[in-house]
Amino acid sequence: MPEVYTVDSVIQIKRPAAEIYDFVSTPANWPGLHPDTIAVGGDTNHPETIGSRFVEVVRHPGRHSSGTPVLWEVTKSERPHLWEISLSGGSELVQQCVITYTLVQQGEETRFSRHMVTVLQPDAKAKLKPERLSSFQKSDVHDEYLRRVKAHLEGGVTA
pLDDT of residue 106: 96
Find out whether 134 and 118 touch, Cβ atoms under 8 Å: no
pLDDT of residue 74: 98
C-alpha to C-alpha distance for 151 and 60, rounded to whole angstroms = 24
Q: Residue 144: which residues within 8 A CB-CB, separation 6 or more?
A: 35
Strands 82-87, 94-106: pairing is antiparallel
pLDDT of residue 159: 46
C-alpha to C-alpha distance for 67 and 153, rounded to whole angstroms = 27
Residue 159 included in any domain: no
Distance of CA 81 to the CA centre of its chain: 16
Residue 54 included in any domain: yes
User: Is the pLDDT score of 88 beyond 70?
Assistant: yes
Find out whether 34 and 42 touch, Cβ atoms under 8 Å: no
Please name every residue paired with 85 in a beta bridge, in sequence order, or none if there are none: 74, 99
**Nearest alpha-carbon partner for 128 in 24, 14, 27, 2:** 2
Residue 95 binned pLDDT confidence (cut-offs 50, 70, 90) = confident
pLDDT of residue 114: 97
Q: Residue 150: which residues within 8 A CB-CB, separation 6 or more?
A: 11, 12, 13, 112
Count of structural domains within the chain: 1
- Write out the DSSP string of 38-59: EEEESS-SS---TT-EEEEEE-
User: Is the pLDDT score of 58 beyond 70?
Assistant: yes
User: Is the pLDDT score of 126 beyond 60?
Assistant: yes
Distances (CA, A) of 106 to 85, 110, 156: 24, 5, 20
Q: Domain containing 56: what range? A: 4-154
Residue 61 included in any domain: yes
